[in-house]
Each structure stands twice: as structure tokens, then as C-alpha cells.
Amino acid sequence: MKIVRVALDVPVNTLFDYRSDDVHAGDIGRRILVPFGRKTAMGIVVELAAASDVPPDRLKSALRVLRDAPVLSSVDLNLLKFAAAYYHHALGATVMSALPARLRRADALRANSTVSFALTAAGEAVAIDSLPARAPVRRRVLGLLKERRALDQATIRNIAPTALSALKQLIAQGWVTRRETPVRSAQAPIGHVTTRSPRLTSEQSAAVQAIRLHLAEFKPFVLFGVTGSGKTEVYLHAIDGVLRSGRQILLLVPEIALTPQLEATVRNRFPATPLVTLHSGLNERERFERWVAAQAGDARIVLGTRLAVFTPMPQLGLIIVDEEHDASLKQSEGLRYSARDLAVVRARQRKIPIVLGSATPALETYYNAVSGRYQLLTLTQRINVAPPCIECVSTRGQQLVDGLSLQLLEAIAARIERKEQSLVFINRRGFAPVLVCRACGWLSGCHRCSANLVLHLHERRLHCHHCGHQAPIPAACPECGNQDLGPVGHGTQRIEAALRRRFPQARILRIDRDSTRRKLAWPTMRRQIEEREVDILIGTQILAKGHDFVHLNLVGVINADSLLYNTDLRASERLYALLTQVAGRAGRGDTPGEVLIQTEFPNHPLYLALRRRDYASFARSLLEERRQAGFPPFVHQALLRAEAPKIDTALTYLARAARIGRALSRQVTIYDPVPAGMVRLAGRERAQLLAQAESRARLQEFLAAWHAKLSAEPSSPARWSLDVDPLEF
């Protein structure tokens, strides 16, 4: 009898044993159907064993190994096992969360094929008008089929809610037929063509040389290059070398939808090389097909967001993490993993180099570089253009016009005069962050969150940016009935209104999550900016990332101070990174850029460092502060988070968890439970407990024991989870 140990998508950290005569070693990593409770579940074969601890009479038989779908190799499983162990997440749930949804469902795939629908000869001959007018959906489905010849199910479903039943009727009428095509086909033949590249600067070629020297071993590099110093060019040369050796490349970025330029750049440089992108905007079929393409080795380059770190790539030869400091590389729920950290682990497991690129490396990364664990590669020169001139505009005691200083307004006027573009950056969308009653001081709070409802004047509504709750703007104060309610503070909409009043002739474009929500809104806006149909841009951090606008020469920053004296230990590091990115938008053409930061604290060390463009010294001083305060990266942390309808329940639970933890280890410091930074969120109240140790290994040992103890408890009144290396407090 053979025992197969299966990972199932359940939050219990164990593998499940089944009897099976049908499995062999080659099935490890394959999908398997097993009985689970009263249902059939889909799992992944993780191990084979000769015996089981489960008594023979209780051991069930597996139903069937699914050999139709591609398998996870042992190296893929090793990464997932590491992730599950390190983040203390159930292995089954970890494995399943890394698989495309198509593979998680408990049904067989049709022999590596995808299904599409096409017109039959009869269907081609039939005229749309011959369908009754009361069947508009059937007409639309037929019309689109005539236009595109073949459609997949997802596309058809998008036509209308009843489109699939319309499709059935069309099939019954004999006008449409169902077709199956093999999954592996769409990729272009593998070739290696490199289009012309610029001559590397000496700094760039030194970086490329260093990477190319170590293509056959694990070697982490930090590519620390100011904005516009040509980091991408270094990536491309490194990629070129790896492609030539016949290996695959994984390129991770924080947010792909916002950086189509990088994808275009890579595709243009290697036009014959199959590349797939992987991100959350894909439908199920796209994700599955691209995953298969990477796994089959057809896709030579995978460009993706954090989840792509798990993509099986049998010939992986290089990993690059661009903007490695970006917090969105860390997943904030479920398996709370850092894609950057796992990428380093993956590179180590595969014995390949990894390049972490940033203009403002995370302090953890920078520390690894200065302490010699990672090799530091530095690009100090901006290519072709002078760096922007960064200045602070002191707003202390100044009368601002709707949040805008006189200097900034004059600078914008001057740029308009010269037909150049300006960007006003404010990290807050909506009209104003809160509505207040001028009589009693009532604030427009969200009843589900500890946050204010933001005034959105265009929609005439109040929005909670945390839980999505919306409410109409009250006609009078709900507390005292006074009708004099007013906005306080500034958001993008209010700045837009102010600038429209001030520059009635100027063409103004607001770019935030509200204005870019419609599909294709953003590409259209980008084109407008590129074609100089815009004079003033107002934007949130959506605009800060990776866009080159050649006519944009002035950047004004409003409200940066709100992040300056934040209690979050990473606030300064983040503000510096954000401002560097925003400032990097200025002056990409032939004219040097100008950056004006409005602040009440022009002499704050952060602003001084920013003006000198000296992140290295700033990072060293922050590291020194962290060393003295005993903060990461000099200690390692984990947060036990708990939430419940009432905060007391969460705090009481954590107090118990703290006692259990303190009994387990003395080398790990366990602090007292505290309410979370934002206590209420979507109607639940949250608290947290910090555990910290100087040694990562000690902390991990402790967490494993602690997690096991907490999991073994009977159901707890609070929902809890563990966040290892937390970024948000």
C-alpha cells in the first residue's frame, strides 16, 4: 500500500494522508482528487510515504491523480514550503494561493486545451437582422462573433449577464460551434534578437560586468541608482546575458498596470523573446495560460507583480526586483509574504543572482549592502539631464491660497508661459479629508472605521477610503442641526478647483484613483500629457511611479509634512522614497526640472538630505537611529494581529497569547497588546501584539512553537493572524 500526503486548501497546518495504488514519485507536485469530509477536494501531492499515522480503518483512498495539468516541480514546492514555514501559514493554503484559480478547482482540465466558440458555415451565412429584435443579446453575441471569428467564454460572459444562455441558443441553432485548442501554442518561436541599445556609461557597465560575472551562483546585488540613472538599461544588459545562456528571467515590479513603459521597453529590446506579464488584472484563463507558458519554459521572461514570485520557471537564471523598497511588494493579508524577501530565498535555492533595484533602497536592503551581505552597485549620475533642483517653500506664517503658496503659483504661471507642464502632487484624493460643523465641531466620521469620511464634491457624497462606505452630504449637522458645514483640509479635487479659478485658461488634468477608475481612462490621459494637451497635472502617488513625461518640468508638493511626524517607524524612509519618486518626474527632457516642496519645516534633516540628493547619508543616519532604538533591521519582528467586534475582546485574547508566548521563550521580547494604528476597520476592532528578537532564527523557532500552541486552542473569540516582518503597524 502506498500513502500519498496531500496539501489541501484548508487553514490547518498539516498534510492529509490518503491511500493510493496509482501514484508514483513522478506525481509529486501533481493535482489529486481526494474525498474530504462529504465533498471531493482538489489537492497537491507533496510526499509519498510507506506508512501513515492515521489508523488503517480511517485512512481513505484518493480518487484520482490528475495528470492533465502541469505539475509543480520539487524546486517550486521547496519555495512554497519555505514560505509556509517562514510566514507560519498552512502549507496547503500556501500552495493553493500560489496556483492559478483554474488549477484550484476540483475538476479536470481538458487535455491542456482551452475552449472557444466560433461561427459555423451556417452561422456565417445568417444575417444578424434575421434574429428577432427582442433578442438583443443574441444579436450582440452573433455580431461580435462575426467581427472576431472566435471568442472565449469570458469575453462572451462580459457582453451581458444573459450572454451565455444566448450562446447556448446559437449553438442549438447550429450557428456556433465549440472548439478546443491546445494551450501551448501562442508563443512565438524562441529566438534571440537584441535591438540597438545606447552605449553604457562607465557606472552602468561596471554594474553589468559585476552581475555577469556571477550568473552561475547565488549572489544578491543592490542596484542603487538615482532616478533617471539608467537602472533599466542595466537590467536589460543583464537579461541579455541570461537569455543568451538559454535561461529564463523573472522581473518583479510593484504595480504593473502603472508601468506599461517597462513592459514595452523590455519587449522592444528583445522582440523575438516570448514574454508574459502576470498581475491581478488578468482573467482566469489568461493567468492560467501564462503560468503554463512560464512553466513549460515557453515564456523566457516573466514580468509580474508580487504573486509572480511563485511562478514555476524551470530554467530560471536571474531575478530582478525593481523598486524593491515599495511596500506593495508585501502582501497584507492571508499569506503575508514579502515578494522581495522570497525572491532572495528563491535565488538562493536556485543558485542564481538577484538584482534589487531602487533609487531609495529599503533600509533592510541598504543595511545588507553596507554590511557586505549584498553587493552594492551604485549609479550616481542622471543620464543626459541635470538632476532637478529641489527647494523647500516655507509655509510657516504664510497666507496660502487654498493650500497653495504664492511661490508655487508663480512658478506654475511661469511654466505655463513657457508652454511647459507642471505637476501638483498631493497625496489625498477627494475634495477635502473631512467635513466639519462650525458650530459644534462635529466631524464626518465613518461609523465603521476610525477614519473620517472624505468629501467628494463631484459626486456630492462622503466616502470612506478604508471600507468603501458612502453617504450623502448632510444638509445640516447631525449633532446640532446647524447648517454651516464646511470642508477642512485639501484633496485633489479642491486643489483642482483652486487652480481652475486661478488659471482659467490653463488645461488642467486631475489624476487619482477616482479619475482613472474607468478602463482606458489612464492610457488616454497619458496620451494627452505626452501630446502636450495638458498644462497642469494634479496627481496622487499614482503619478509618482515610473512615468517619463518629457515636457513636465515643475513639480509642486503639498502636504508632505503630514507624513513627516508620523509615529510609524518607516515613515521617514517612505516619505523620502515618495518624494524622490515625485521629484524624479521633473525634467526628463532637455530642461532641468524644478521641485518645490511646501513645508513648515524646511530645515528638517529629511528635506535637507533630499535637497542634497544624498540618500546614502540619510539612510546611514536612519540606520544609526534604528540601531540605537533597537528597531529593524537590527531586530526581527512579528506581529500577532487580532480582531473582534469589540476591541476588548481582541486585547484580552492578545493578553492571553502574550502570557503563553512569554512562557515559551526568554530570548524573544513580547510587548503588551495595543490597539492597532487604525482601531476600527469596516466594523471590526483590531489590536496587535509585537514579538521581537535579535536573532531571526530564535524568533522563527519561537513563532513556530507559539503558533502551534495558539492553533491548538479551542476556537478563540478573536480572529487572529501572524504577520512576520510586518511593514504596517
Residues that bind ligand ADP (CB under 6 A): 198-201, 204, 225, 227-233, 383-384
Measured distance between the N- and C-terminal CA atoms of the chain, rounded to whole angstroms? 50
Backbone angles phi, psi at 46, to 5 degrees: -105, -40
Task: Report in angstroms how near the CB of residue 598 gets to ligand ADP at its nearest.
Answer: 25
The one of ligand ADP, Zn ion, none whose footprint includes residue 204, by CB under 5 to 8 A per kind, is: ligand ADP
Cell of 23: 501514484
Closest CA to 433 of 380, 493, 348: 493
The one of Zn ion, ligand ADP, none whose footprint includes residue 6, by CB under 5 to 8 A per kind, is: none
The answer to whether 690 and 670 are in contact (CB under 8 A) is yes
Long-range contacts at 516-521 (CB < 8 A, ≥ 24 apart) = 516/542
Q: Which stretch binds Zn ion (CB under 5 A): 100-108, 304-312, 471-479, 547-555?
A: 471-479
The one of Zn ion, ligand ADP, none whose footprint includes residue 228, by CB under 5 to 8 A per kind, is: ligand ADP
Task: Report in angstroms how near the CB of residue 609 gets to Zn ion at its nearest.
Answer: 36
DSSP H or E segment with residue 705: helix 696-712
Task: Report in angstroms how near the CB of residue 136 gets to ligand ADP at its nearest.
Answer: 48
CB closer to ligand ADP, 234 vs 718: 234
Task: Report in angstroms how near the CB of residue 584 gets to ligand ADP at its nearest.
Answer: 7
According to DSSP H, which parts of 174-230 are helical? 202-212
CB closer to ligand ADP, 227 vs 665: 227
Say which residues have a Cβ less than 8 Å from residue 80's Cβ, sequence separation at least 6: 72, 91, 94, 95, 98, 310
Task: Report in angstroms how near the CB of residue 728 gets to Zn ion at its nearest.
Answer: 17
The pattern of x and - marking residues 475 through 494 that bind Zn ion according to CB under 5 A reads --x-xx-x------------
Three-class HEC string of 38-105: CEEEEEEEEEEECCCCCCHHHCCECCEEECCCCCCCHHHHHHHHHHHHHCCCCHHHHHHHHCCHHHHC
DSSP H or E segment with residue 436: strand 434-437
Give CA–CA dist 676/108, Å, rounded: 44
CB closer to ligand ADP, 383 vs 608: 383
Dihedral angle computed from the Cα positions of residues 380, 383, 385 and 389, in that order, rounded to the nearest 10 degrees: -20
The one of Zn ion, ligand ADP, none whose footprint includes residue 469, by CB under 5 to 8 A per kind, is: Zn ion
CB closer to Zn ion, 477 vs 555: 477
The one of ligand ADP, Zn ion, none whose footprint includes residue 480, by CB under 5 to 8 A per kind, is: Zn ion
Cell of 175: 450557428
Give CA–CA dist 267/262, Å, rounded: 9
The pattern of x and - marking residues 430 through 449 that bind Zn ion according to CB under 5 A reads -------x-xx-x---x-xx
CB closer to ligand ADP, 170 vs 578: 578
CB closer to ligand ADP, 379 vs 703: 379
CB closer to ligand ADP, 405 vs 580: 580
Closest CA to 96 of 189, 51, 31: 31
DSSP H or E segment with residue 463: strand 461-463
The one of ligand ADP, Zn ion, none whose footprint includes residue 227, by CB under 5 to 8 A per kind, is: ligand ADP
Give CA–CA dist 698/84, Å, rounded: 17
The one of ligand ADP, Zn ion, none whose footprint includes residue 229, by CB under 5 to 8 A per kind, is: ligand ADP
CB closer to ligand ADP, 225 vs 403: 225
Closest CA to 717 of 676, 662, 659, 657: 657
CB closer to Zn ion, 267 vs 448: 448
Helices (H) and strands (E) in the chain, counts: 21, 31
The answer to whether 95 and 78 are in contact (CB under 8 A) is no
SS3 assignment, position 29: coil
The one of Zn ion, ligand ADP, none whose footprint includes residue 111, by CB under 5 to 8 A per kind, is: none
Cell of 66: 490528475
Task: Report in angstroms how near the CB of residue 678 gets to Zn ion at its nearest.
Answer: 10
Task: Report in angstroms how near the CB of residue 494 gets to ligand ADP at its nearest.
Answer: 31
Task: Report in angstroms how near the CB of residue 459 gets to Zn ion at its nearest.
Answer: 16
How many residues form the binding site for Zn ion (CB under 5 A)? 15
- What distance lies between CA 251 and its chain's CA centroid? 13
CB closer to ligand ADP, 199 vs 519: 199
- What distance lies between CA 310 and its chain's CA centroid? 14
Task: Report in angstroms how near the CB of residue 489 gets to Zn ion at its nearest.
Answer: 18
The one of ligand ADP, Zn ion, none whose footprint includes residue 439, by CB under 5 to 8 A per kind, is: Zn ion
Q: Cell 521617514 appears where?
A: 572
The answer to whether 232 and 320 are in contact (CB under 8 A) is no
The one of Zn ion, ligand ADP, none whose footprint includes residue 199, by CB under 5 to 8 A per kind, is: ligand ADP
Task: Report in angstroms how near the CB of residue 357 gets to Zn ion at its nearest.
Answer: 36
User: Which parts of 446-465 interact with Zn ion (CB under 5 A)?
Assistant: 446, 448-449, 464
The one of ligand ADP, Zn ion, none whose footprint includes residue 440, by CB under 5 to 8 A per kind, is: Zn ion
The one of ligand ADP, Zn ion, none whose footprint includes residue 452, by CB under 5 to 8 A per kind, is: none
The one of ligand ADP, Zn ion, none whose footprint includes residue 479, by CB under 5 to 8 A per kind, is: Zn ion
Give CA–CA dist 426/543, Å, rounded: 10
Q: Which residues pair with 537 in a beta bridge?
A: 423, 509
CB closer to Zn ion, 442 vs 522: 442
Q: Which residues pair with 720 in a beta bridge?
A: 642
Task: Report in angstroms how near the CB of residue 469 gets to Zn ion at its nearest.
Answer: 5
CB closer to Zn ion, 137 vs 467: 467
Give CA–CA dist 494/435, Å, rounded: 13
The answer to whether 658 and 689 are in contact (CB under 8 A) is yes
Give CA–CA dist 321/308, Å, rounded: 11
Task: Report in angstroms how near the CB of residue 95 gets to ligand ADP at its nearest.
Answer: 35
Task: Report in angstroms how near the CB of residue 275 gets to ligand ADP at its nearest.
Answer: 18
Among 247, 279, 325, 466, binds Zn ion (CB under 5 A): 466
> In this structure, is the dihedral angle defined by the CA atoms of residues 313, 273, 340 and 328, taken in order, positive or negative?
negative
The answer to whether 639 and 688 are in contact (CB under 8 A) is yes
CB closer to Zn ion, 246 vs 481: 481
The one of ligand ADP, Zn ion, none whose footprint includes residue 230, by CB under 5 to 8 A per kind, is: ligand ADP
SS3 assignment, position 443: strand
The one of ligand ADP, Zn ion, none whose footprint includes residue 507, by CB under 5 to 8 A per kind, is: none
CB closer to ligand ADP, 203 vs 723: 203
Task: Report in angstroms how near the CB of residue 680 gets to Zn ion at its nearest.
Answer: 8
CB closer to ligand ADP, 116 vs 229: 229
Q: In the complex, which residues of this chain contact Zn ion (CB under 5 A)? A: 437, 439-440, 442, 446, 448-449, 464, 466-467, 469, 477, 479-480, 482
